[in-house]
Amino acid sequence: MGRLDDKIALITGIGGGMGRAAALRFTAEGARVVGCDLFAEGAEETVRLVREAGGEIENFAPVELSDAAAAARWVDQAAEVFGGIDILYNNASAPRFGAIDELSVEDWDFVIGNELNLVFYATRAAWPHLRKRGGGVVLNVGSIAGTRGVEFMPQNAHGTAKAGVINLTQQLAVEGGPHGIRAVCVSPGFTVTPSTAWLVESGPEPFKQNIARIPLGRVGQPEDIVNAALFLASDEASWVTGINLVVDGGGSVLG
């Protein structure tokens, strides 16, 4: 018996990193998954890996989730594949970094569009499907950067967007409760994925010092985050909503 048997899960950003790990784990736990990504190649590889492992998955790519109409189109098409939506896993995002006097207005807008707006667009489109089903889960991915300043890398837009995702989760929990819709957020600390792996090797010294201080003595792997997401998405968490679950080896409790 799987922990997500009979669930239909939409997962954004399955092209690599945590999205791929989520597609693999959720299908292994019995979910039927519909994924999407901007980059078709990575998403197709995820489909291949999932099917090879015996999982059930469909994929739409390329999908540009920062385009409201495209995001809504994907959600509606995805809902048709298996006949509904139980879980919307808003994993995809694309950051840009810069100090306040260096970050361009264009970069700020890009980050808000690709880290916060895309969550709103997909969730807004999924809401009627979740209501029609009598409930479900919106599972967002925040970041420890969403609740603090970070000294080793200027995260103005990124942290602001993730703070928005965390707060949106709380509001969705309030509005979703009466409809049986839970909204939850998992906030990773530094996790090794294709877009972050270079930092471990050749990141700035302050970054290396930061990860060296993580109480549990290591950086995260995509599976660490997906394990938490799996719990939050499953019926085991049926009385958990509005939460921001930090998964960071204890790094963010350091003074």
Residues found near ligand NAD in the complex (CB under 6 A): 13, 15-19, 37-39, 42, 63-66, 91-94, 114, 118, 141, 143, 188, 190-191, 193-196
> Smallest gap, in angstroms, from Cβ of residue 178 to ligand NAD?
28
> What is Dmax (Cα atoms) for the chain?
54
Question: Alpha helices of the chain — where are they, by DSSP H?
Answer: 17-28, 40-52, 68-82, 105-111, 118-133, 156-176, 197-202, 205-212, 222-233
Q: Phi/psi at 125 (nearest 5 deg)? A: -75, -35
Residue nearest to ligand NAD (CB): 17
Contact present, 169 and 242 (Cβ < 8 Å): yes
Beta bridge partners of 33: 9, 57
Q: Which of 240, 136, 223 is nearest to 185 (CA)?
A: 240
> Smallest gap, in angstroms, from Cβ of residue 250 to ligand NAD?
15
Q: Which of 238, 131, 232 is nearest to 179 (CA)?
A: 131
Nearer to ligand NAD, 143 or 156 (CB): 143
Interatomic CA distance for residues 47 and 56, integer angstroms:
9
Nearer to ligand NAD, 118 or 181 (CB): 118
> Smallest gap, in angstroms, from Cβ of residue 153 to ligand NAD?
11
Nearer to ligand NAD, 55 or 159 (CB): 159
Interatomic CA distance for residues 34 and 89, integer angstroms:
10
> Smallest gap, in angstroms, from Cβ of residue 21 to ligand NAD?
8
Nearer to ligand NAD, 63 or 243 (CB): 63
Nearer to ligand NAD, 66 or 241 (CB): 66
> Smallest gap, in angstroms, from Cβ of residue 114 to ligand NAD?
5
